Amino acid sequence: MNILLTGASGFLGKAITRALQSAGHAVIPATRKHGVDFNLMLDEDAWLPYLQGIDAVINSVGIIVETPMQTFARLHYLAPAALFRACARVGIKRVIQISALGADAVAMTPYHQSKQAADTVLHGLPLDWFVLRPSLVYGPGGKSMALFRRLASLPLIPLIARGQQWIQPVHVGDMVAGVLQCLTASPTQRTIDVVGPYPVTFENWLQRIRRANHRNAGSTLSIPFGLAIAVAHVAKYCIPMIRPDNLRMLQQGNTADMQDFARLLGRMPVSIEDCKDEEFR
């Protein structure tokens, strides 16, 4: 298949590209490097030249931090919505949207709300679509993994409210395998939560990363949520990922039933305990 892949230069996009090419597909990357600036792709007509000869479209564009030139509204909603409408216009039926766990009717942050808005547009189109909503995706090379490694390596690990928030990390290999399954799976028009086999607390997540990097269990420092939010208003200028909204999403938790995802894969997703230590470095 000829597959247009947006976000091909990102952590997830690179992994999807390798897997698609290994499976014999031709990947047509849509990135700024290849002349596709999402800020300028807000109308379906702008997408038409890139859809000639395309059999399927995968949208993997995602940012966790906004900048003046990269906003949630444009990158998560307006440009993808225009792309989806263009697909319907030219008859490209198979579309895979990589959204986010928490992008639903009760989404509370602009990050989740923008993802959910694009999902809603796709739901209303006569396409063979899949919306994949991953939890935290981990694996070597991810920006979030680099931040978690830094936190886990500290002599005293700072944790909001003792780090008892529940998350359900999914390995990048499982995420990619799910994307490839969606190219041929039926029935279509499905939203699937992409998660690991069971939830873990944020504290246990960091301790697992610490063990993988040959360190003993670390001591922790519990920080009240309100204080953490106040600190994040300043820390965001030094560490962009530490922003109030990101802490609110962590505090909310990030878990789901994994049965639909396991059925898509045809197996259980891998657990963090069964992964090799190299996956956390």
Q: What is the DSSP letter of 217?
A: P
pLDDT tens, per residue, the chain with 281 residues? 999 999 999 999 999 999 999 999 999 999 988 889 999 999 999 999 999 999 999 999 999 999 888 999 999 999 999 999 999 999 999 999 999 999 998 888 999 999 999 999 999 999 999 999 999 999 988 888 888 999 999 999 999 999 999 999 999 999 999 999 999 999 999 999 999 999 999 999 999 999 998 888 889 999 999 999 999 889 887 887 888 888 898 988 899 999 999 999 999 999 999 999 999 98
Can you tell me the distance from the alpha carbon of 45 to that of 120, in angstroms, rounded to the nearest whole number?
Answer: 20
Q: What is the pLDDT of residues 202-247, one digit of tens each?
A: 999 999 999 998 888 889 999 999 999 999 889 887 887 888 888 8
Name the fold adopted by 2-280. Rossmann fold (3.40.50)
The pair of three-digit structure tokens given for residue 140, joined into one six-digit string: 């070597």
CA distances from 5 to 12, 40, 45, 47 (A): 11, 17, 18, 13
Q: Is 150 helix (H, G, I), strand (E, B) or coil?
A: helix
CA distances from 106 to 102, 110, 116, 132, 204 (A): 8, 12, 10, 17, 27
- What confidence score (pLDDT) does residue 281 get? 81
What would you measure as the largest C-alpha separation in the chain, in angstroms? 57
Give 127: exposed, middle or buried? Use CB within 10 Å, 0-12, 13-18, 19+.
buried
Can you tell me the distance from the alpha carbon of 262 to that of 219, in angstroms, rounded to the nearest whole number?
Answer: 35
**Helices (DSSP H) in the chain: which residue ranges?**
11-22, 44-47, 72, 79-90, 110-123, 143-153, 172-182, 202-212, 225-235, 244-252, 259-265
Q: pTM for this one?
A: 0.94
